[in-house]
Structure 1
Amino acid sequence: MVMDRMQGVPVIDHYDAEKLEAGIHRFYFRAGASAFGVDHLLPLIVIKGSKPGPKLFVQSSLHGDEVQGIDIIHSISEGLSPEQLSGVLTLVPGANPSGLGQGSRYFSFLTDGFSQTDLNRVMPGDETASDAAGRFAAVLWNHLYAGNAHLFLDLHTQSTGTAYPFFVFADRRNRVVDHLVKLVPADLIANDPGEDGTVETEMLKAGIPALTLEVGAPRIFDRDMTRRGAQAIRNIMIDQQMIEGTADMLGTTPYCGDQLTSIRARIGGISRIKVELNQWVDEGQVLAEQVNPFGDVQETYVAPYAGRVASIATDPLRAPGALLVRLLK
């Protein structure tokens, strides 16, 4: 229901794709308010096809420093007309306005102090929760997602200070997920048993096939990631007969694995990463060193097994426990 307008765009507090006419629609979705009483508004782009078909929901930036998906969403929506589409494509380019405004992974809110919550660990939320993040998540789940997705793609990147290649988390025990992930022109695919509270896992529990696409590094737009991420969405839409065309893997052959290991700093210090993203490494190969402020090597980290480099630290300053390198086997 339209409640208001912001910059001429209708503001809604509940989204129901079934009630829309075929066409291109833009809304701001109201997801509660800040402690100051100002609404949290999420941009919502809906392209409803002139013919019936599946509902594909694509979301970016539930972590506010992970913005690459915004560019992917803009790319996929540009030039796509309802006449070309069967079904409904729902696009949310910015799912965490609090985090986006601060360049932060977290949803921030005032309570008895200042709190920060990872929204991708508290789904499906609770509209009666004692914290604002749980309520925000529940509004997304119950009034934005519910009833509007047969398939769900959650676009992420690595967090500030680290980077991924094009990396996909997919619970391949689900038959549809196992099929869809083969359409993604990724570098690496991890067979993901899931984590409670994430959009991907909670969607699967609800019977909705979902993938988490990690499209590179935070806080930048990378043209190649935009090209490949948009092609992944097109490939899935082609496969689901939402649009016409032929799927294109862009010449990629993803490396698939089911063991993902994070090598973390044993001490605080300045890190020197010795490997590149997506590089093959052998067991015992040096992955990283840490030096003290004088440049003296204090710790050396080696690969526990042979595999591909799935993530690296890009910020040289690493506190104890911080991620240095992640390997996929």
Structure 2
Amino acid sequence: MTASTTRRSTAARSRIAAVSAIAVAGALLLTACGDQTTSGSGTKEKDSAATSAAPLADKLPQSIRDKGVIKVGSDIAYPPVEFKDASGKVVGIDPDIADALGKQLGVKFEFENGTFDTLITGLRSKRYDVAMSAMTDTKARQDGVDSETGKKVGEGVDFVDYFTAGVSIYTKKGDDQGIKTWSDLCGKKIVVQRGTVSEDLAKAENAKCLKAKKGKITIEPFDNDQQAQTRLRAGGADAGSSDFPVAAYAVKTSGGGNDFQLVGEQVEAAPYGIAVAKNNTELRDALQAALDAIIKNGEYEKIIAKWGVQAGAVTEAKINGGS
């Protein structure tokens, strides 16, 4: 997460999913699994057939209808949002939602793995058609602004918002170091994924700690969240932070539930969005229509319930709802 990449975010706002949902989330997350792609037509010749089978196919740009594929940039190491199962298959909340969207649009969503902080760059260079990776919809990302410097770094992206989540802190189980809130991190070390809202929050809190002369927060960023968890598990830090669904999943599954514990409550509730290039409004609007369709037909609700994250569900597809 560089100039505006998080999970994750560079400006501020993460995701929500109520703390009360932890128990439900854990139980369901352990058994969940999802599909990576959808079925649909892949050639011009099949266009009419795809349209009849997929009610919203005609809303897509012709170039994507011709390919039959939407290329998705994603950091596939963020369970339960997107990750690879034991067989190497891409599974999670995002792939399942993408599969349902593809059925409406008559195309496959093909996930390509990339480092989170390079996804928007890949979108700008047209390596991907969209970025879908638990990415927080923020004003900074919409405007292409670096949230730390305030400088313009690109043309920005549009988001189709599909979930909401907050940021959580977790520690080694039975050793919370007295940490209950972000202000308790003064003088301590925290591990985070680079470019995320968690990193942004840690930097902002560190500034407060230094101003109050309460001791520096040592922030150690990693390319992915699993590396940060490994560091904390080995005793290399006092705490870690990530989006609530991810933190809750790690608490439930790592070491059979014996490695970590959540501390305090979620902060910075904000939407996850599917990022689309600013000049690709036709694709953006097609995705919005497809998301609204699966919300109305109940498919979205089934997916969210499958992964035990109902508290983060949205009731309509919004464009650029983040701030």
TM-score in terms of structure 2 length: 0.25
Which one scores higher on RCO, CA 8 angstroms, separation ≥ 6? Answer: 2
**Which structure shows the higher strand fraction?**
1
- Greater fraction of residues in helix: 2
In the superposition, the TM-score normalised over structure 1's length comes to 0.25
